[in-house]
Amino acid sequence: MFVHVGLPKTGTTYLQNRLWRNRATALSEFGLFVPGNTIEDHFQLAVHLQPQRYLDWVDPARASATDLIVSQVTKWPGTSLISHELLATATPAQADELLAMLAGREIHVVVTVRDLARQIPSVWQENVKNQGTIGFDEFVSGLRTGRDVGPFWEFQDYVRVLDTWGASLPRERVHVVTVPRSGSVLWPRFVSALGADPDRLDVTMPAANSGLSSAQVELVRRMNADLQPADIDWWRYERAVKEMMIGTVMFASSSRTGRNLEPDDRRWAAEKSAEMIDAVRRRGYDVVGDLDDLVVSPDVASDASGAPSEDEVLAAARDTLVGMIKQWPLPSTRRSFAARVYTHIRARTRKAFDL
């Protein structure tokens, strides 16, 4: 029994979607069962486990998702997998609660981990794409001074996550899958940790590149000042901004190099990473990959300039607006029923009186 608890922004969505595409083969050839009726059931399990933390996402109509998954896992004699990155934020008591539901099975915990130099800009950008307004420099400064802006460490402190979920497990059953700089290696590492052959689970899917350029993300960040929950319903923001403006228009841009850590911030990240890597090494968890994948070199120069200029943000706004005009669905030009009835009556009247 494997429980994959994240971390967010480590390729989890890609891994989960690809697993579901290979679900039948995983079951028939390796006895690896991914429970639930849909992939959404794993999300609902994660949020129902933490109702106070994810109150807005808890769907009362899906309250049975946890019972469904646990029941299916209990009945399946082979290996099962539960996977959702929101499990990373569980408290020790909440982790114990889920593991207790799975009692009687040999439980393994899997945590996918990526280096801080890539995680920090990626998480900040994801926050902006979800109505965040904090600038990148302020975000990094907050991390360095102990202010958990965003938040960040709540999701990304992999030492805490490993200790939370692995507290009652033998060290060899707590697996750290490191995310290499070559994305093609992640899938075989993850699948091999589950005891399956990645070459046999060969139904692929495109790896989505969800990054924005520094100018694009700055444009969204400024817009968010007037697109907070008090100003716009989430469903409208998600459809109009995340799906259409970002997902369809901005992602089509050929240049999407985002912000990276500045030299001084990179040196801090290198020191912080060294501390965390040492903590994992001392605990003796099973590492799939190489802990060197998590090392941040303090001497690598940033491949992106600092904050975008006003002209760059203006150009991003212009390109985005043009793209939206080209692709946005046109408003309906059909006249209302009342207007059509009026026109019909008027025409009949003019004909009757020969006007």
pLDDT tens, position by position, 126-156: 999 999 999 999 999 999 998 767 789 999 9
Look at residue 254 in the predicted model and tell me its pLDDT.
73
In this prediction, residues 314-319 reach a mean pLDDT of: 96
Domain-embedded: residue 142: no
55 with 6, same domain: the answer is yes
52 with 185, same domain: the answer is yes
220 with 106, same domain: the answer is no
- Look up the domain containing 124 and give its range: 2-132+152-208+263-297
Domain-embedded: residue 46: yes
Helix (H, G, I), strand (E, B) or coil at 91: coil
Domain-embedded: residue 141: no
328 with 353, same domain: the answer is yes
Closest by Cα among 266, 233, 256, 240 to 324: 240
In this prediction, residues 240-261 reach a mean pLDDT of: 88
199 with 126, same domain: the answer is yes
Domain-embedded: residue 139: no
309-312-313 Cα angle (round to 5): 90
Distances (CA, A) of 25 to 19, 22, 108, 155, 199: 10, 5, 21, 32, 11
239 with 288, same domain: the answer is no
CATH number for the domain harbouring residue 32? 3.40.50.300
Tell me: the pLDDT tens digits for 198-223?
Answer: 999 999 887 665 789 999 999 999 99
In this prediction, residues 328-337 reach a mean pLDDT of: 69
Tokens describing residue 32: 């690896």
Distances (CA, A) of 247 to 82, 86, 251, 305, 324: 28, 22, 6, 24, 11
Tokens describing residue 117: 């130099």
125 with 185, same domain: the answer is yes
342 with 270, same domain: the answer is no
201 with 218, same domain: the answer is no
223 with 291, same domain: the answer is no
Model confidence at 350: pLDDT above 60: no
Domain-embedded: residue 158: yes
Helix (H, G, I), strand (E, B) or coil at 111: strand
242 with 271, same domain: the answer is no
Q: How far apart are CA 184 and CA 97, in angstroms?
A: 35
Look at residue 167 in the predicted model and tell me its pLDDT.
96
- Contact, 113 vs 178, CB < 8 A? yes
Q: pLDDT band at 337, cuts 50/70/90? A: low
Domain-embedded: residue 30: yes
149-152-157 Cα angle (round to 5): 140
Percentage of residues of the chain with pLDDT beyond 70:
90
Tell me: the pLDDT tens digits for 6-25?
Answer: 999 999 999 999 999 999 99
340-342-348 Cα angle (round to 5): 105
Q: pLDDT band at 341, cuts 50/70/90? A: low
Model confidence at 304: pLDDT above 90: no
Domain-embedded: residue 303: no
What total of structural domains would you count in the chain? 2
Q: pLDDT band at 256, cuts 50/70/90? A: confident
98 with 159, same domain: the answer is yes
Domain-embedded: residue 302: no
In this prediction, residues 99-125 reach a mean pLDDT of: 96
Q: How far apart are CA 235 and CA 301, in angstroms?
A: 40
How many Å separate Cα 142 from the centre of its chain?
22
